A and B are shown apart, each in its own frame.
Chain A
Amino acid sequence: MRLLIKNGRVIDPSSKTDDTLDLLIERGKIVDIKTKIESKGVKVIDASRLVVAPGFIDMHVHLREPGQEDKETLFTGALAAAKGGFTSIACMPNTNPVNDNRGVTEYILSETKKNSVVNVFPIASITRGQNGAELTDMADLAEAGAIAFSDDGLPIEDSQVMRRALEYSKILKTLIINHCEDKNLSGEGVMHEGYYSYLFGLKGIPASSEETMIARDIILAKKVGTPIHIAHLSVKGAVDIIKEAKKKKVMVTTEVTPHHLFLTDSLLENYDTNLKVNPPIRSEEDAQALIQAVKDGVIDVFASDHAPHTIDEKDVEFDKAPFGINGLETAVSLFLDKLVNKNVISLRKFVGMISTTPAAILGLENKGKICVGADADLTILNLKKEIVVDVNTFKSKSRNNPFHGWKLRGAPVKTIVGGKIVYTSSS
C-alpha cells in the first residue's frame, strides 16, 4: 500500500530538516521526500498545519504480559502507545514469568507480530528471575530479540554482579539499563523523603538512594568501558553526577519522565495513590533541576515508564498501593504543552529526545529519522490542539494517571507504523 503525506512540517533532527515537505511511503518504507510529490492511486494524508516527525520511541514501558493481563496486555499496551503517538516501545522484563529466557522473549515477539499495532522490543532481565545474583544467557536472549537488559525495579545490589553484567555486555552489541536505587536506603519508603514526607507522615525514599547507585554504576561502566543507560532520573544530585560523568566521556545516557518533570511532592497532600511511583515524585527543586538538565543536554531521552495498575490495586491506603503511573497516553501532550509550546525547548530537540536519540541508544538503525529508506514510522502532531486528559478514554487497560483533568495544548493526531495508519484522533 502506498501513502502520500502532503504539506506537513517535517522535522528530522538527524538531518536537521524543518521544512514543509511531502513524503511518499511504499511497502513500509519512506521512498521519496520532496517539496511536492504528485502520485496517482495513493492514499493521501493532508498534513497542512501539522508536524510530521519520525515515529516516537518509548524505551521504558511495562506491558504486564505474560502474567498480569488484568493490568495490561501486549495488545492494549500497543493501542495505548499508538494513541499516545508512539510507534515503538521497549518493554521491561518484570513480567510473570520474568523475561529471563528465550521462551518469554519469543512469546512477546510472536504475540506482538500477531496483534500489536506498534513495534514492541522486549528488554530481558540481567539476572535470572531478577534475583540479582546469576546472569541470564544474555547472548541467547539477544539473539532471540532482546533489545537491552535490565533488572528493572529490582536493581542489582551486588556490585560484582553489575560489573560482570557490564563486562559480558561487551561481547554483545547490547545495552544495560539500570533503575538506580539502593533499596536499603529506600527501606519502606513510599514518597520522596523531605519536608512533605514528614508533614504527611509517609515514609520517605531519600534522594541518596538514587544518587549512590548512579555513582556506583558510572564508576563501573567507566572501568569496564561499556555504555550504561540510567532509567528515570529524578533528583538534582543525580543530574550533577551524570553531568560530571559526561564531561569525563563516560558512555552514560539517561531518561526522564513527564511526572518527574511536571509534578512535585507537595501534591501528595491528598494521599492520591495515582501519585505513588518509584522513583517518587520529588521536590520542586529537583523538578527544576531536571528541566534544566533537559535544556542542557544532560538528559538524553524522554520516556514514560508506563506502569499500569488496576483500580482495585490503587484504590487502597497509600502505603499499600503499588508504585506506578500509566503514562503512554499523556506523555507527548505533557511534553508539548509544558516544554515545546512554552518555548522551554525547541520542537526539534523534543523530537530528538523522543525519537532520534532513543533509536540511536537502542541501535534501531532505520528508525528515529525521516529519510529515503527509513522505516515509515511517523508521528503526526497538532501543536495547537487542546485536550483535556480523561482517563476514561484511555486505550490502556488501566487508569492510574495523575494528570486526569489537566488541560493541555498539543497532541498526536495520527500514528503511522510501517506505513500503516494505526491511530487517528477523533477530531
Chain B
Amino acid sequence: MKSSLLSRLELNRRRDLAFKHKHLLGIQGLTSSEIVSVLDTAESFYEVSTREVKKVPTLRGKTIINLFYEPSTRTRSSFELAAKRLSADIVNFNKQTSSVIKGESFKDTILNLEAMNPDAIIIRHSASGIPYFATTFCQHRIINAGDGSHEHPTQALLDAFTIRQEKKNFKDLKVIIVGDIIHSRVARSNIFLLNKMGAKVVLVGPPALLPVEFKNFGVEIDFNLDRAIQGADVVMMLRIQLERQAANFFPSIREYRNLYSLTEKRFRKAKKNAIIMHPGPINRGVEISTDMADSAKSVILKQVENGIAVRMAVLYLLLGGKKREAID
C-alpha cells in the first residue's frame, strides 16, 4: 500500500515536470499534454478519497487561502477538502464577514492576505480577468476558481476527468453544451479544453444567449436543441439564471423550458450511451427535468466527486514537489 503510493508520487513528480506553471488562470494557457497530466495525476489521487483515513502528507506545511467573493457550495468545499486531504492548511475567506464589506478594495485585500505568506490563493470573483489582475501585483500562486463570465478551469478539468472516465477518450466525441452560453465561464473553459482534446463541440441556446461570434471559437452553434442533440455523446446542461428573463434574453421560463429543457423525450435522440452533465447548481424542472437529473445516465454527482481528485491534482502540481522554475 505504502510503496504503491510512493511509486505513484514518483510518477506524479515526473508528470509535474511537464506542468510548469506558476498559476492556474485558465484552460487557454494549457496544452493538451498538460491537461492530460492533470487528469492522470487526478486519477492517482482519486483513491485517497475512498480510504477510511482520507489524507496524504503531500502538502504538509503549505498554506492555502480560499478567497471566495461569490457564493459557492461545490467549488469552495471541493477546494477545501482537496487541500485538507493533501494535509495543507487552508483558510476560508468569506466576503460577508470580511473587510470587503467596509469597502476594502480587491487589491488591498490580496496584498493583506499575501502579507500572511500563503503558498497559494484560490480566487472566485464576479469580475472577468480578476486572476490576471491579481498576478500583476501578487507574488504568490493564483488559482482561478471562476472569474466572471471568463474561465472556470478546474470545472472544465473535472468535467474532462468525468468524460474520460465514461468515454475513455475525447477524439470525435460530440459534446453539446446547452443554455446560457454568453454568461457562462463553465462553457468557455469547456470549449477551450474540449477543442484542445479533439472533441466536437456544439453550442445550443437562444440567440441572445448564444451570439454567432462563438463560431470563431472553433465550435458549431445551433438554436435548435432537438436537432443538435441527435447523435450526442455528452449532453452538458447549464444553469439558467432566472434574472435573465427580466433582461429579455428569453420571454419566460415556460418558453425556455419548452425549447431548451432536457427531457426524456429529447434525450432519446442522443446516442444510446450518452451521458448527462451539469456543473450545478441545477434548476430542477427548468433546464433539466428531475427524471433526467436523477437518471442512470446522469453523471452530475460524479462530477462533484471527481472535483476533489482533480483539485488535489491541481494543488499538487502547483505546490508540490521540488521548487522549480515556473514559466509564467
Residues of A within 8 A of B (CB): 194-195, 198-203, 270-271, 315-320
Contact B216 A195 (CB under 8 A): yes
Contact A317 B150 (CB under 8 A): no
B147 interface residue per 8 A CB criterion: yes
Contact B211 A317 (CB under 8 A): no
Contact stretch, chosen from B91-99, B126-134, B297-305, B315-323: B126-134
Q: Can you list 8 A-B pairs with a CB-CB distance of less than 8 A? A: A194-B213, A195-B213, A195-B216, A200-B128, A201-B129, A202-B148, A271-B129, A319-B148
Contacts of A202 in B (CB 8 A): 128-129, 148-150
CA A320 to CA B211, docked complex, whole Å: 24
Contacts of B217 in A (CB 8 A): 198-199
B132-176: CB near A (< 8 Å → 1, else 0) gives 110000000000000111110000000000000000000000000
Contact A198 B150 (CB under 8 A): no
Determine the residue in chain B with the shortest Cβ distance to A317.
Answer: B127
Contact A200 B127 (CB under 8 A): no
With A318-B127, A319-B128, A320-B127: A198-B106 Cβ-Cβ less than 8 Å: no
Contacts of B182 in A (CB 8 A): 198
Determine the residue in chain B with the shortest Cβ distance to A312.
Answer: B105
Near A by CB (< 8 A), chain B positions 208-256 give 211, 213-214, 216-217
Contact B106 A201 (CB under 8 A): no
Give the A-B pair count, Cβ closer than 8 A.
Answer: 53
B23 interface residue per 8 A CB criterion: no
Main DSSP-derived SS at the A contact region: loop
CA A315 to CA B106, docked complex, whole Å: 10
Closest Cβ–Cβ distance, residue A317 to chain B (whole Å): 4
Contacts of A270 in B (CB 8 A): 129, 132
Contacts of A201 in B (CB 8 A): 128-129, 147-151, 185, 188
Contact A317 B133 (CB under 8 A): yes
CA A315 to CA B111, docked complex, whole Å: 13
B284 interface residue per 8 A CB criterion: no
Contact A315 B129 (CB under 8 A): no
Closest Cβ–Cβ distance, residue B103 to chain A (whole Å): 12
Contact B128 A271 (CB under 8 A): yes
Determine the residue in chain B with the shortest Cβ distance to A203.
Answer: B149
Contact A318 B106 (CB under 8 A): no
Near A by CB (< 8 A), chain B positions 184-208 give 185, 188
Closest Cβ–Cβ distance, residue B207 to chain A (whole Å): 13
Known: A201-B188, A319-B148. 9 other contacts (CB 8 A): A194-B213, A195-B216, A198-B211, A198-B213, A201-B149, A201-B151, A316-B106, A317-B127, A319-B127
Closest Cβ–Cβ distance, residue B137 to chain A (whole Å): 8
Q: List the 6 shortest-distance A-B pairs measured between CB atoms, nearest first.
A: A201-B150, A271-B129, A201-B128, A201-B149, A317-B127, A319-B127
CA A299 to CA B151, docked complex, whole Å: 39
B54 interface residue per 8 A CB criterion: no
Determine the residue in chain B with the shortest Cβ distance to A202.
Answer: B128
CA A218 to CA B129, docked complex, whole Å: 38
B248-274: CB near A (< 8 Å → 1, else 0) gives 000000000000000000000000000
Question: Which residue of A194, A195, A271, A320 has the most chain B CB atoms within 10 A of its CB atom?
Answer: A271
Determine the residue in chain A with the shortest Cβ distance to B135.
Answer: A270
Question: Which residue of B125, B128, B182, B214 has the most chain A CB atoms within 10 A of its CB atom?
Answer: B128
Contact A198 B129 (CB under 8 A): no
Contacts of B106 in A (CB 8 A): 316-317
Q: How large is the interface on B (under 10, 10 to 19, 20 to 34, 35 or more residues)?
A: 20 to 34
B107 interface residue per 8 A CB criterion: yes
With A198-B211, A198-B214: A271-B132 Cβ-Cβ less than 8 Å: yes
Contacts of A271 in B (CB 8 A): 128-129, 132-133
With A195-B213, A200-B129, A270-B132: A316-B107 Cβ-Cβ less than 8 Å: yes
Determine the residue in chain B with the shortest Cβ distance to A190.
Answer: B128
Determine the residue in chain B with the shortest Cβ distance to A273.
Answer: B133
Closest Cβ–Cβ distance, residue B243 to chain A (whole Å): 13
CA A36 to CA B125, docked complex, whole Å: 68
Contacts of A320 in B (CB 8 A): 127
CA A317 to CA B182, docked complex, whole Å: 20
Closest Cβ–Cβ distance, residue A320 to chain B (whole Å): 7
Closest Cβ–Cβ distance, residue B152 to chain A (whole Å): 10
Closest Cβ–Cβ distance, residue B88 to chain A (whole Å): 27
Closest Cβ–Cβ distance, residue A285 to chain B (whole Å): 13
CA A319 to CA B106, docked complex, whole Å: 12
CA A320 to CA B129, docked complex, whole Å: 12
Contacts of A203 in B (CB 8 A): 149
Contact A318 B213 (CB under 8 A): no
Contacts of A198 in B (CB 8 A): 182, 211, 213-214, 217
Question: Which residue of A201, A202, A271 has the most chain B CB atoms within 10 A of its CB atom?
Answer: A201
Contacts of B129 in A (CB 8 A): 200-202, 270-271, 317-318
CA A194 to CA B217, docked complex, whole Å: 12
Closest Cβ–Cβ distance, residue B201 to chain A (whole Å): 14
Determine the residue in chain A with the shortest Cβ distance to B127.
Answer: A317
Closest Cβ–Cβ distance, residue A274 to chain B (whole Å): 12
Contact B214 A318 (CB under 8 A): no
CA A201 to CA B192, docked complex, whole Å: 13
Determine the residue in chain A with the shortest Cβ distance to B188.
Answer: A201
Determine the residue in chain A with the shortest Cβ distance to B213.
Answer: A195
CA A198 to CA B105, docked complex, whole Å: 26
Contacts of B107 in A (CB 8 A): 315-316
Contacts of A194 in B (CB 8 A): 213
Contact B105 A316 (CB under 8 A): yes
Determine the residue in chain A with the shortest Cβ distance to B149.
Answer: A201
With A271-B132, A271-B133: A317-B213 Cβ-Cβ less than 8 Å: no
Determine the residue in chain A with the shortest Cβ distance to B128.
Answer: A201
Contacts of B150 in A (CB 8 A): 200-202
Contacts of B133 in A (CB 8 A): 271, 317-318
Closest Cβ–Cβ distance, residue B197 to chain A (whole Å): 19
CA A316 to CA B132, docked complex, whole Å: 11
Determine the residue in chain B with the shortest Cβ distance to A319.
Answer: B127
Contacts of A200 in B (CB 8 A): 128-129, 150
CA A318 to CA B147, docked complex, whole Å: 12
CA A200 to CA B131, docked complex, whole Å: 12
Contact A317 B216 (CB under 8 A): no
Contacts of B128 in A (CB 8 A): 200-202, 271, 318-319
CA A216 to CA B114, docked complex, whole Å: 52
Closest Cβ–Cβ distance, residue A348 to chain B (whole Å): 41
CA A271 to CA B126, docked complex, whole Å: 14
Determine the residue in chain A with the shortest Cβ distance to B148.
Answer: A201
B125's partner among A199, A315, A317 (CB-CB below 8 A) is A317
Contacts of B151 in A (CB 8 A): 201
CA A46 to CA B79, docked complex, whole Å: 70
Closest Cβ–Cβ distance, residue A11 to chain B (whole Å): 43
Question: Which residue of A203, A271, A317, A318 has the most chain B CB atoms within 10 A of its CB atom?
Answer: A317
Determine the residue in chain B with the shortest Cβ distance to A197.
Answer: B213
Closest Cβ–Cβ distance, residue B155 to chain A (whole Å): 14
